[in-house]
Each structure stands twice: as C-alpha cells, then as structure tokens.
C-alpha cells in the first residue's frame, strides 16, 4: 500500500469503484497541535494507559516505553488527563 | 425444454439459469410470483443461493449491493413504488460499479393506487446509469436476464429487465427454457477483480472531492457506452447458441418503409399485427422496436430513421411538463442529422389502458394522413 | 508480540486503525473503532453508512483502516451487512466477521428499519453503534439518541430537547436478539470483551457504545475519557448486556452513583439547564438505573440525594 499522498492525473489511472490504494499516513496531523504533551520518563511507570486511550494512535510502544509520535499527535491531551502518575506535561507549541 | 410460463416465472427461471448466488427481495404486486418461485427453488435446492427476505425494496437493493461487493452474483425484482424506493441504491450500485441485475414489472405510480402497467416507474430511473432492457415476450424476459448478467459483469454496472404488468407478468406463453449446460457455456461465473476481502483490504467509496469525482463519472459513461456494442455482440452470440438473437433494437418489416412506427414492450408485439395489416392495405410502414433504453441506441436510430418520410413514436409514459420519453430521446438523437424526419409523438395506454391493434393502426394512419404533428404530444385514447 | 515481564497490556496490541485519520481532537468514535478492531481482528469486513466515520477514514483513494470497508447510504448499515454475510456464506467465506458500523443517527433514526429487519431475520452480523448523541458529522443536529435537555443546532437553548433519549437497547431486546450490550470508550477492556463475545455468537448482535464528542458536546477534548467514565459512574449510561432479550447482566454495578450534575456541568450542551431541570434528569437517571438493576435480578436500589 502506497505511503504518500496519491494524486491521479488521468481518468484512466483512477480505480473505477473509488477504491483506496494508500493509507492516511501521508496526513501529518501533528500540524493541528496547539499544545504538545511531553512524557517525563523518570516518573513514567510504563502502565501504557496513555497508549490505551490515544484517539490518534500516535503513542507507540518502543522498548516498553510509550513514545509520542509528534508527526501525528493532534494535542488533544487525553493522555495528560489519563496518566495516573501525572507525568505527562503540556507545553505551548511555538508557532 | 418448452414450457408454458408467465412472465414473472420467466424472470425466476432466468435468474436460476444464471446461477444467481444471492437474492434479496420484498413483495409487491405484480412482482410476487418472481420471488415466490425463487424462494421455492432455494428451499428445494434447485438453486444454490441465499435468499434474504428483506424488509423493504431499499434494503433489497442494499443487500444485493453488499453481496455483490464480496463477489456474489445477485438478483432482485420489484415494481413501481418499490423501484422508486430503490432509487437511491440504484445510484449506489452504479457508483460502486456492482453488476446487480433486477427485474422490474412496469406498473403505474400512485397515487391513486393502481397496479396496471405503464413505463413511468422504470423511466424515472433513466439517469442512474442502470441498464434498461424492455422485453416484449416472456421468452425475451428469460433470455434477457442471462444476457444482462453477461453484459453487466463485463462493464460493472447494474441492469434492469423490464416487463409489462399483467400483459407479460401474469400472462402465460410458450417459453423455451434453455439447457443449463448451454447457459453455463454462455455465461461464465462472476469473478470480479476487486472485492471486499480481508486478505487484500481496500476501502470502497470514500469521500471524494471535485478533483476525483468527475473522472469517476466519466468512467461510468465510458462503460455504459461500451455496453452498446457488447449488447449487440452478446445478443448475436446468444442467437448462435440458443437460436434467438437480440440487439439494441429490433426491426420488423422495416425495409424501406416511408413511415416508421417506434414502440417498446408489449405494444411492440401488438404493433406487429398492425403493421402486417397496414402493409396488406398497401401502406409503406414498418416497425422499429427500442429494446434497450439505456444505453440509448442513438446510432441505430440515426442510421435507420434518416431519410424516412415520417416517424410515429408510441409512449406509454409521460415526462410531465415535456412529452413522451421515448419520443424525446429519439428527437434528441436525430437533432443533428441532416435528413431528419418529422416525429409524431403519441401518448397512449397510460395506467394499463388497453392498446389494441386498431389503436395502433389509428396512430399510424394519423401520422400518414397529417402533414405535420399537431403538437409535441398527441394524446390517443384519453377521454377528453 | 512477545513482551517483557514488566509490561502488561490490558487490551490487544495489534492496531488496525492507523494515524493520519481526520477525527477531531479527543474523538470517541475513533477510539471505538480502534478498540472494536482490536477485538475483531484482521478477518473482518466493515460497512459504514453516512456518519463521522465516513470522514474520519479519510478521502479516496486513502484509508485509515487495515480491513476492507464499504461506504454505504445512510439507512443501509444493517441490510448491506446482511448482503455481505449472505455473499460470504454462499462463497464459502463464512468465517469472516461482518460488521455494520454506524452512528446514532444512522442507527436510532434512519437505519432502524434495516436494523430491525436484520435482527428479526437473525442475520449473522455484528452491529456496532457509536453514540455521540446527535448528528455530529452534519454539524450537531438532534437525533432520537439526543438526551433530554441537550442543546443542538436544531434544539436551540430556548427549545432544548424535551423528549428523552430513545431506549434502543430495549427495542433490540424486544427482538429477542441473541446478544446486545452497552459499552463505553471509558472502559476499553469491557468493550473489547463484549465485541469478542459478539464475534462468537451466531446471529445478530448489537453493541451500543457511548462515544464522547468534544465539538458536539462543547466539552474539552482532554476530558473525553473522563466524561465517558462519569457517564457510567453517574448511571447516566449504564454498562450492561442482555442475552436472548431476557438475561440482563449489569457489568459495572454502581452502588453509590455520583451526582449526574458532575457529568452535565462539564458540557456546554447542558449549560442552560436550571437546577430544577438538572434535578429532573437526576431523578430519571436513578429511576431507570433501578429498573435496570431489578431486571438484572440485583437486590439493590440506589439513591442520589438531590440538594434543594
């Protein structure tokens, strides 16, 4: 499945039944973010509750740690509220 | 094998011989015998298909769409109000490019409640992209179901076989029910390239903006235009195998007739007798039956009507605010031709009123006698 | 995937929804899909009528899900699923899960006829309704799932919705549906267990999922999960299941409900309500919950003190 954004130039190339041939991963929703969640790994207990409740599937598990993929994090801050150790903080995006 | 069967059962046998895999239908007069017989066939396993007894015609077409999207051959049948209810999903089958085949028994639209024939129900589906074959005999009903699958599955569009309420649906005629082996030779199994399949997941019909939608519609038109030659080719092939050939149009004693009568459905059967009698009276008349309404046989119309003296069109339908729909289509097909004949557009037989040999002769004689049409619509048989 | 001893995940790790989708911040509907597909697995076909998910998934020719998905007309979630099921069965692909996936409008309103039809026939499909209590995709219009008291763009503050929410689960139970359950994105483990249960049942199953919508509820995106849990702990949205239309089980029994005010006051859609109106909601919530406890055969009656 294609990774980038697919743009058809000619009618003959378009799947006639409007069928998907690529994923939405080209759409870097991180650009929507106003605030940025940052995990304090010193206090993180790796409970993965932040991973569990992320609506944007942008907290990935790497070496048993939750890691935020800022390419896609929309900054909803559900993880900040749900973290039982309150170790995810929010900072303003600098744009 | 020759059998005496009603038009509705001709639809059922056509579906059975086409080895349909999923049927979804809802009862409506005068369609019920179609689905009753199919239910029995499914129950006694003469037909290996799933029959979904849905709760509406809208759901019937929707269920056929779902089944077709996983790669099953699907069939439904309805009439009038039921077809109108299906309308949204006929558009959906077209856009999703799913070759669902349906039978529609032409029945006039309510209110008032009525169950007798006219063509306004099916003609209201004109602009959906669904193919439309109008049959004039029970034999043609059966044969058209099989041919329709063959055409639709190649161009990936739905198709509708249309027959007159009662005049065909409930009238028994001798029908040659073809041998299954021969049908299998003619109609290969349905194996679409792209289906709903977890092993090769795709999303179908996602949100599309102005940058993509236009081309998708262009491709529908491309496909339905391709159907024109396919219908003639597969109709010819049908003739070679079964002894009965079909095309977009059917000529009857047309030759170099000065006046051409154009009709469809069972009126075109009755019209044959009228033409015989008129020719015996020494009149230069012939009959052209429009069998396929979508795609419209514009090329045949142009080729066969240019340079004729007069054309009379019988419409058992009306586009309120304009004229008879076949007349309208024929006029527009001929508009850019050099030697276009004048066209008399007759409306008659609305709501199932009988159209007799005498009525048709009266129409043709009216055309022969008058210098020009008295209006866009010439009413026949309405009590004014 | 093998994991070390330190980490235990309470829900399956496999993701069948990808990033880059078009859901709003804090969207409950997206979590619904994420959890449902974790339970269903790859061998699943979805059909989705008009709803937020028609947009969330992304524009053609792109998609956010890793299972086949068929977009369909608003009122056809259940009947398209019936057709898919029939097609798969006749083609010998009966092991694939068929899921009709719709919002509350597509389920409670325009799609209820098809849902009732499929359920009466007991077609082997899983119907999942993610309920955000209004037509959110079209811009927050009231549906029959909108609760009493809520503002929507078609129930403006001066004429807020006066009718109660349609009790669809009871309607489904009246069909003697083999399995129906409510669940919440606030409790993914319970939700996933129910989808897995539905998957094992032959016949129609219906899951009603409570799904917060920050733009539609005028709530803070970060509060979505809190609100989903509060809906359960206030008994506003109880989490329970019904087998064969008869056997009720309350999965999360709330012995001491929190005041419903705590749930309502965090949402702008209820901001206009007077104290009396809030008390009215409180009363109805408790009456309904006690009825549910009774149906489940629990010898328990709960109370919330209404402050005058």
**Cβ contact (<8 Å) for A19 and C188?**
no
Whether C136 and C215 have beta carbons less than 8 Å apart is answered as yes
* Peptide linkage before B295 cis (omega within 30 of 0): yes
SS3 state of residue B376: coil
In the predicted model, what is the mean pLDDT of residues C93-105? 98
Asked if B223 has any chain A CB less than 8 Å from its own CB, the reply is yes
Rounded to a whole number of angstroms, the distance from the CA of B215 to the nearest CA of chain C is: 13
A20: chain B residues, CB-CB within 8 Å: 202-204, 206
pLDDT, tens only, C195-246: 999 999 999 999 999 999 999 999 999 999 999 999 999 999 999 999 999 9
B212: chain A residues, CB-CB within 8 Å: 8, 14, 18
| Minimal Cβ distance to B96: which of A8, A10, A17 | A17
A64: chain C residues, CB-CB within 8 Å: 3-4, 6-7
SS3 state of residue A92: strand
Closest-CA residue of B relative to A11 is: B215
Separation CA B377–CA B374 (nearest Å)? 8
**Cβ contact (<8 Å) for B208 and A15?**
no
pTM for the model: 0.97
B123 closest CA partner among B378, B346, B317: B317
Asked if A75 has any chain C CB less than 8 Å from its own CB, the reply is yes
Rounded to a whole number of angstroms, the distance from the CA of C86 to the nearest CA of chain B is: 6
Q: Residue C1: its pLDDT value, please?
A: 44
- Domains for chain C: give ranges and CATH numbers: 28-295 (3.40.50.970)
Separation CA C150–CA C148 (nearest Å)? 6
Rounded to a whole number of angstroms, the distance from the CA of C280 to the nearest CA of chain A is: 30
Closest-CA residue of B relative to C99 is: B66
> How many CA atoms does the CB half-sphere of B278 hold within 13 Å?
31
Whether B209 and B248 have beta carbons less than 8 Å apart is answered as no
For residues B48, B54, B58, B63, the Cα torsion angle rounded to the nearest 10 degrees is -40
Angle at C209 between CA C205 and CA C211, to 5 degrees: 160
A6: chain C residues, CB-CB within 8 Å: 61-62
Q: Which two tokens stand for residue C48?
A: 């989705």
> Which DSSP string do the residues of chain C spell out, in sequence order?
----SS---SS-----B-TT--PPTT-HHHHHHHHHHHHH-SSEEEEE-SSHHHHHT-STTEESBSS-EEE--TT-HHHHHHHHHHHHHHTT-TTSEEEEEEEHIIIIITTHHHHHHHHHHT-S-EEEEEE-SSBTTTTSB--TTSPTT--BTTB-GGG---SPPP-HHHHHHHTT-SEEEEEETT-HHHHHHHHHHHHHSSS-EEEEEE---HHHHT--GGGHHHHHHHHHHTTSS--EEEETTTEEEESS--SSPPPHHHHHTT-GGGTT--HHHHHHHHHHHHHHHHHHHHHTT-------PPP-
What are the Cα distances from residue C113, in Å, to A7, B57, B86, C108, C181?
Answer: 39, 12, 14, 9, 19
SS3 state of residue B186: helix
B357 closest CA partner among B254, B278, B257: B278
Asked if A24 has any chain C CB less than 8 Å from its own CB, the reply is yes
User: Using CB atoms, which chains have 3+ pairs under 8 A with C?
Assistant: A, B
Q: Which two tokens stand for residue B50?
A: 């799933």
Question: Who contacts C226 (Cβ-Cβ below 8 Å, separation ≥6)?
Answer: A81, A82, C186, C266
From first to last of the 384 residues of chain B, give the pLDDT tens digit: 999 999 999 999 999 999 999 999 999 999 999 999 999 999 999 999 999 999 999 999 999 999 999 999 999 999 999 999 999 999 999 999 999 999 999 999 999 999 999 999 999 999 999 999 999 999 999 999 999 999 999 999 999 999 999 999 999 999 999 999 999 999 999 999 999 999 999 999 999 999 999 999 999 999 999 999 999 999 999 999 999 999 999 999 999 999 999 999 999 999 999 999 999 999 999 999 999 999 999 999 999 999 899 999 999 999 999 999 999 999 999 999 999 999 999 999 999 999 999 999 999 999 999 999 999 999 999 999
Rounded to a whole number of angstroms, the distance from the CA of A31 to the nearest CA of chain B is: 22
C31: chain A residues, CB-CB within 8 Å: 53, 55
Whether B62 and C83 have beta carbons less than 8 Å apart is answered as yes
Separation CA B79–CA B60 (nearest Å)? 12
Closest-CA residue of B relative to C60 is: B206
Question: Who contacts C206 (Cβ-Cβ below 8 Å, separation ≥6)?
Answer: C115, C119, C127, C129, C169, C172, C177, C179, C180, C181
Please determine, for the modelled complex, whether the ipTM score is greater than 0.95.
yes
What are the Cα distances from residue B73, in Å, to B109, B118, B149?
Answer: 29, 29, 8
Q: Which helix (H) or strand (E) holds B133?
A: strand B131-134
For residues C259, C260, C262, C267, the Cα torsion angle rounded to the nearest 10 degrees is -170
User: Using CB atoms, which chains have 3+ pairs under 8 A with A?
Assistant: B, C
**Cβ contact (<8 Å) for A64 and C4?**
yes
Q: Is the pLDDT at C70 greater than 90, yes or no?
A: yes
In the predicted model, what is the mean pLDDT of residues C167-180? 98
| Minimal Cβ distance to C188: which of A24, A52, A81 | A52
Please name every residue paired with C130 in a beta bridge, in sequence order, or none if there are none: C103, C209
C61: chain B residues, CB-CB within 8 Å: 206, 212
Tally of CB atoms within 10 A around A94: 5
**Cβ contact (<8 Å) for B202 and A11?**
no
B254 closest CA partner among B236, B268, B234, B240: B268
Which of A6, A9, A18 to mutate against chain B (most B CBs within 10 Å)?
A18
Rounded to a whole number of angstroms, the distance from the CA of C304 to the nearest CA of chain B is: 44
**Cβ contact (<8 Å) for C6 and A46?**
yes
Angle at A30 between CA A24 and CA A31, to 5 degrees: 105
Rounded to a whole number of angstroms, the distance from the CA of B75 to the nearest CA of chain A is: 20
Rounded to a whole number of angstroms, the distance from the CA of C62 to the nearest CA of chain A is: 5
Q: How do strand C205-210 and strand C179-184 relate by DSSP bridges?
A: parallel
* Peptide linkage before B112 cis (omega within 30 of 0): yes
Separation CA B90–CA C289 (nearest Å)? 45
Rounded to a whole number of angstroms, the distance from the CA of A20 to the nearest CA of chain B is: 5
Separation CA B4–CA C90 (nearest Å)? 31
**Cβ contact (<8 Å) for C17 and A5?**
no
Separation CA B151–CA C192 (nearest Å)? 45
pLDDT, tens only, A19-57: 999 999 999 999 999 999 999 999 999 999 999 999 999
* Peptide linkage before B18 cis (omega within 30 of 0): no
**Cβ contact (<8 Å) for A55 and C34?**
yes
Q: Residue C3: its pLDDT value, please?
A: 53
- Domains for chain B: give ranges and CATH numbers: 2-242 (3.40.50.970), 249-379 (3.40.50.920)
pLDDT, tens only, C243-301: 999 999 999 999 999 999 999 999 999 999 999 999 999 999 999 999 999 999 999 99
| Minimal Cβ distance to B92: which of C63, C65, C72 | C72
Whether B167 and B356 have beta carbons less than 8 Å apart is answered as no
Whether A79 and A54 have beta carbons less than 8 Å apart is answered as yes
C60: chain A residues, CB-CB within 8 Å: 18-20
Rounded to a whole number of angstroms, the distance from the CA of A75 to the nearest CA of chain C is: 7
B204 closest CA partner among C67, C180, A9: C67
**pLDDT confidence of A1, banded at 50, 70, 90?**
low
- Domains for chain A: give ranges and CATH numbers: 28-92 (3.30.70.20)
Which of C22, C68, C93 to mutate against chain B (most B CBs within 10 Å)?
C68
Tally of CB atoms within 10 A around C291: 11
C212 closest CA partner among A76, A28, A58: A76
**Maximum C-alpha span of chain A:** 56
**pLDDT confidence of C308, banded at 50, 70, 90?**
low
B95: chain A residues, CB-CB within 8 Å: 17-18
Q: Dihedral sign for Cα B135, B140, B146, B147, please.
A: negative
Separation CA B146–CA B183 (nearest Å)? 8
Q: How do strand C179-184 and strand C240-243 relate by DSSP bridges?
A: antiparallel
Closest-CA residue of C relative to B76 is: C83
Asked if A80 has any chain C CB less than 8 Å from its own CB, the reply is yes
Whether C124 and C202 have beta carbons less than 8 Å apart is answered as yes
A21: chain B residues, CB-CB within 8 Å: 202
On average, the pLDDT of chain C sits at: 96
SS3 state of residue B147: helix
What are the Cα distances from residue B21, in Å, to B5, B26, B67, B78, C86?
Answer: 23, 17, 9, 18, 9
**Cβ contact (<8 Å) for B97 and A20?**
no
Q: Residue C83: its pLDDT value, please?
A: 98
Q: Residue C4: its pLDDT value, please?
A: 53
Whether C184 and C209 have beta carbons less than 8 Å apart is answered as yes
Q: Which two tokens stand for residue C91?
A: 């083609």
Q: How do strand B249-252 and strand B285-290 relate by DSSP bridges?
A: antiparallel
């Amino acid at each position: 499945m294609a990774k980038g954004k697919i743009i058809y130039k000619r009618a003959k190339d378009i799947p006639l039944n409007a069928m998907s041939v690529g994923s939405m991963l080209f759409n870097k929703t991180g650009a929507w973010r106003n605030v940025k969640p940052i995990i304090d790994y010193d206090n993180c207990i790796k409970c993965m509750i932040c991973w569990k409740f992320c609506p944007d599937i942008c907290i990935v598990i790497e070496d048993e740690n939750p890691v935020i993929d800022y390419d896609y994090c929309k900054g909803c801050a559900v993880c900040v509220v749900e973290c039982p150790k309150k170790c995810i903080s929010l900072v303003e995006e600098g744009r | 094998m020759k059998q005496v069967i009603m038009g509705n059962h001709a639809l059922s046998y056509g579906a059975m011989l086409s080895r349909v895999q999923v049927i979804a239908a809802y009862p409506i007069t005068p369609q019920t015998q179609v689905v009753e017989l199919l239910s029995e066939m499914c129950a006694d396993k003469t037909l290996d298909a799933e029959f979904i007894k849905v709760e509406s015609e809208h759901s019937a077409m929707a269920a056929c769409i779902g089944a077709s999207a996983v790669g099953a051959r699907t069939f439904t049948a309805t009439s009038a109000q039921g077809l109108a209810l299906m309308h949204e999903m006929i558009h959906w089958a077209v856009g999703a490019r799913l070759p669902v085949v349906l039978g529609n028994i032409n029945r006039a639209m309510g209110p008032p409640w009525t169950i007798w024939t006219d063509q306004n129900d099916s003609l209201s589906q004109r602009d959906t992209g669904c193919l439309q074959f109008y049959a004039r005999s029970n034999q043609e009903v059966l044969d058209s179901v099989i041919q329709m699958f063959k055409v639709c599955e190649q161009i990936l569009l739905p198709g509708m076989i249309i027959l007159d309420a009662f005049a065909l649906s409930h009238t028994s005629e001798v029908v040659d029910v073809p041998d299954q082996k021969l049908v299998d030779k003619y109609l290969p199994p349905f194996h679409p390239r792209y289906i709903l399949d977890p092993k090769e997941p795709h999303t179908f019909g996602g949100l599309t903006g102005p940058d993509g939608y236009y081309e998708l519609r262009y491709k529908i038109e491309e496909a339905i235009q391709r159907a024109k030659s396919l219908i003639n080719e597969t109709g010819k092939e049908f003739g070679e195998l079964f002894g009965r050939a079909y095309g977009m149009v059917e000529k009857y004693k047309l030759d170099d007739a000065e006046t051409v009568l154009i009709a469809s459905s069972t009126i075109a059967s009755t019209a044959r007798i009228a033409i015989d009698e008129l020719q015996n009276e020494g009149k230069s008349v012939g009959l052209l039956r429009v069998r396929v309404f979508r795609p419209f046989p514009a090329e045949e119309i142009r080729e066969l009507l240019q340079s004729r003296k007069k054309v009379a069109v019988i419409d058992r339908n009306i586009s309120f605010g304009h004229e008879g729909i076949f007349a309208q289509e024929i006029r527009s097909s001929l508009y850019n031709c050099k030697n276009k004949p004048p066209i008399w557009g007759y409306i008659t037989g609305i709501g199932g009123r009988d159209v007799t040999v005498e009525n048709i002769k009266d129409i043709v004689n009216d055309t022969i006698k008058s210098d020009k049409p008295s209006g866009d619509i010439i009413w026949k048989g309405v009590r004014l | 995937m093998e994991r070390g001893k330190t980490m235990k995940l309470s829900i399956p790790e496999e993701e069948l929804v990808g990033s880059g989708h078009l859901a709003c911040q804090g969207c409950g509907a997206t979590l619904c899909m994420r959890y449902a597909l974790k339970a269903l697995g790859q061998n699943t076909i979805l059909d989705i009528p008009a709803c937020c998910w028609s947009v969330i998934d992304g524009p053609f020719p792109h998609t956010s899900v890793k299972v086949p998905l068929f977009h369909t007309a608003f009122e056809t979630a259940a009947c398209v699923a019936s057709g898919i099921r029939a097609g798969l069965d006749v083609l010998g692909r009966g092991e694939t899960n068929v899921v009709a996936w719709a919002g509350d409008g597509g389920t409670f309103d325009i799609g209820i006829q098809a849902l009732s039809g499929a359920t009466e026939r007991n077609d082997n499909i899983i119907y999942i309704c993610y309920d955000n209590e209004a037509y959110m995709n079209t811009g927050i219009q009231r549906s029959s799932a909108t609760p009493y008291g809520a503002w929507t763009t078609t129930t403006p503050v001066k004429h807020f919705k006066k009718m109660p929410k349609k009790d669809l689960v009871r309607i489904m139970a009246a069909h003697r549906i083999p399995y129906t359950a409510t669940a919440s994105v606030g409790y993914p483990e319970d939700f996933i267990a129910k989808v897995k249960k539905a998957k094992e049942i032959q016949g129609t199953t219906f899951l009603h999922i409570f799904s917060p919508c920050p733009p539609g509820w005028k709530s803070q995106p970060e509060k979505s999960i809190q609100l989903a849990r509060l809906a359960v702990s206030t008994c506003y949205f109880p989490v329970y299941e019904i087998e064969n239309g008869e056997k009720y089980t309350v999965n999360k029994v709330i012995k001491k409900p929190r005041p419903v005010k705590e749930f309502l006051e965090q949402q702008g859609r209820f901001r206009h309500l007077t104290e009396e109106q809030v008390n009215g909601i409180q009363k109805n919530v408790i009456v309904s919950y006690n009825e549910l406890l009774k149906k489940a055969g629990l010898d328990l009656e709960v109370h919330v003190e209404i402050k005058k």
